[in-house]
Amino acid sequence: MKRYIHILLVLSMLMFSACSNNRNSPQDESAPVSTDTTAMPPADSAAEDTSSAEETKSVAEKLLEGMTLEEKIGQLFIIRPDALQINLTPEQINDSIKYGVTEFDEKMQKTLKEYPIGGVALFGKNISTPAQLTSFINAMQKQSSIPLFIGIDEEGGSVARIARSQNFDVTKFESMQKIGETGDPANAQKVGSVIGLYLSQYGFNLNFAPVADTNTNPENIVIGNRSFGSDPDLVAKMVSAVISGLHESGIMSCIKHFPGHGDTKGDTHTGYVSIDKTWDELKKCELIPFVNSFSTTDMVMISHITAPNITDDKLPASLSAEMIEGKLRKELGYNGVVITDSMEMGAIIKEYSSSESAVTAILAGVDIILMPNDFVDAYNGVYTAVKNGVISEARINESILRILKLKDQYNLLY
């Protein structure tokens, strides 16, 4: 796979070089040069047109124009807050229990200034009490030049960082499978609104939920009762209702794990996982909840599962241009923000360095890299790729504009 990435990067550089030569080629001397000025608008008219065009630009577009390359690349990353403590090793940062950062200090402030990230994802080890959590989030937001995505996995049920903490008195839900068994989307909407309300109170603005996977494999060890059920139409209704509830509380949604993790046996947290289904088979089942929510969800999370009967590149979906640009964007028509699943997972780090996976994901069409195993390596990898022409700045700008427009939609750009 690494050989494939090397070939991909080389081809990208050659294409970039060819395009650059075409753009810089001198004008054909044999071409006639027009001297007719009758069609040219008066100077004051041209100025008015420019002023009018400037006024019609969105807040996101204006902000993008003034950003440095370093700031742009930073927006491509949502990381653990622990990664701002650069004295910690990747193993310590990604430890699920130990080495949790719960206060924002001067070292983290310095790192945030050097690497102006797009957001943070908090876990149980970063959370102790309501007062601590609120203070921690407020401190990070205050020191960020562009307001941050503050995300969390608060699905309800087994995956709920806050609800499963004994120091928080919030409503708890047994599982999304139980919600699905009621058959009533109103119950799912309540899940979204209840969770969204307490998340917003603590300072969160993004929930990595709901799970849009249809649990079609009884041997699935990853999704299970996190899914609303095995009926894709029911799952679609429930997912849509949760999104509505989150939005009522001002919280962004992120449906996961595209193109569907429901018919798998393995766990991408530990290593390679594949699905045997064809694209037509997925469209008849697993893709239904995703497609149904494309117009309402704020993000789509790409899984690391490999689909050998769908993509020729044999790459994890999170690194596959065939899956992201070809299937998700062009065929299915999704134009919103695309985020990877955590890049610290075994399916990625056992095969790729943090810089390799980040560059490949951006080239494949991803907008946000979630929690790379080594954030600094990933950041520097993308920066070098842009400087060397492997990734065009125009490609980076596409993602940044999507990200900034989403932040503006939720009144984060002030």
3-class secondary structure, 223: coil
Number of other residues whose CB lies within 10 A of the CB of residue 163 = 19
Q: Which of 95, 184, 267, 269 is catalytic?
A: 269
Distance CA 133, CA 102 (A): 8
Distance CA 402, CA 404 (A): 6
Q: Is 244 in contact with 189 (CB distance < 8 Å)? A: yes
Q: Is 1 in contact with 352 (CB distance < 8 Å)? A: yes
Distance CA 171, CA 168 (A): 9
Distance CA 274, CA 168 (A): 38
Question: Across-strand partners of 77?
Answer: 369
Cα dihedral sign for 65, 374, 159, 182?
positive
Determine the longest span between alpha carbons in the chain, in angstroms: 79
Distance CA 346, CA 340 (A): 14
Q: Is 404 in contact with 75 (CB distance < 8 Å)? A: yes
Element (H, E) at 339: strand 337-340
Q: Is 282 in contact with 310 (CB distance < 8 Å)? A: yes
Q: Is 395 exposed, middle or buried (0-12, 13-18, 19+ CB in 10 A)?
A: middle
For the question of residue 341 being annotated catalytic, the response is: yes
Distance CA 392, CA 403 (A): 17
Q: Which of 82, 341, 367, 374 is catalytic?
A: 341
- In the numeric block, the tokens 């503050």 are attached to 150
Distance CA 302, CA 324 (A): 8
Distance CA 271, CA 346 (A): 4
Cα-based distances in Å from 50 to 22, 43, 46, 333: 28, 11, 6, 33
Q: What is the DSSP letter of 25?
A: P
| Chain center to CA of 175 | 25
- Which residues are tagged catalytic? 269, 341
